[in-house]
Amino acid sequence: MQPSVYSRKEILEAAFALIRERGWSAVSTRAIAKKMGSSTMPIYSHIKSVEKLERELRTMASELQKEYQQKSYTEHVLLNLAFGYVVFARDEKHLFRFLYLESPRTMNINHGPSLRESFFRQFGADSAEAEALNELKASGQEALIQYTWIFTHGLATQVNADSESSFSDEQIMRLLRNAGEAFYLWGIHKGEGFND
């Protein structure tokens, strides 16, 4: 017998499972109810708007992505961030598309907080990631984040689009190491010319 009362958490978990399985376009009150084996009534009682549901699901997807990025794949914290991001794109195809391709939040590098400030807000100013970044000059930090983000996001998008997931961990790591070393050295030696 199905429970007559469902919690908000159960509803969010069912919606999140739908995204992971079939993508954001598959999420509807009817689909969530079917996944839970219930009517749509409990869904409507907890979910007041699609926009709010989307925000909460984005937070859940972002938290899972962060878990991937904060694993210790190597001894290099910043490389772990990039590797975790690409592996997330490969292993969680629908969640990556939900966050970055289907209705992405825009990222304007010329307005709003700097990339460095956004980085510290996401990972924490006292984190191992922030400590590794702080080894560079401030202008080098901004450059490193910008250029590694562009490369890493491009690679993640390519890996995500590969329907056979033929990118192995070793291939991803090799690509990131080669690009990362170049960006890191540039950030150390020429970061002061970032705004030129």
The burial class, CB within 10 Å (0-12 / 13-18 / 19+), for 70 is middle
Specify the pLDDT at position 193. 47
Class of domain 1-48: mainly alpha
Q: pLDDT digit string (tens) for 54-93?
A: 999 999 999 999 999 999 999 888 788 899 999 999 999 9
The per-residue pLDDT for 194 is 43
**Among the listed residues 49, 65, 67, the one whose alpha carbon sits nearest the alpha carbon of residue 97:** 65
Using a CB cutoff of 8 Å and minimum separation of 24, what contacts does 39-47 make?
A: 42/5, 42/6, 42/11, 43/11, 46/6, 46/7, 46/8, 46/11, 47/11
Cβ atoms within 10 A of the Cβ of 58, count? 17
User: Is the pLDDT confidence value at 119 over 70?
Assistant: yes
Average pLDDT over residues 99-114: 65
- What's the pLDDT score for residue 111? 45
pLDDT band at 189 (very low <50, low <70, confident <90, very high): low
Asked whether the beta carbons of 81 and 141 are under 8 A apart, the reply is no
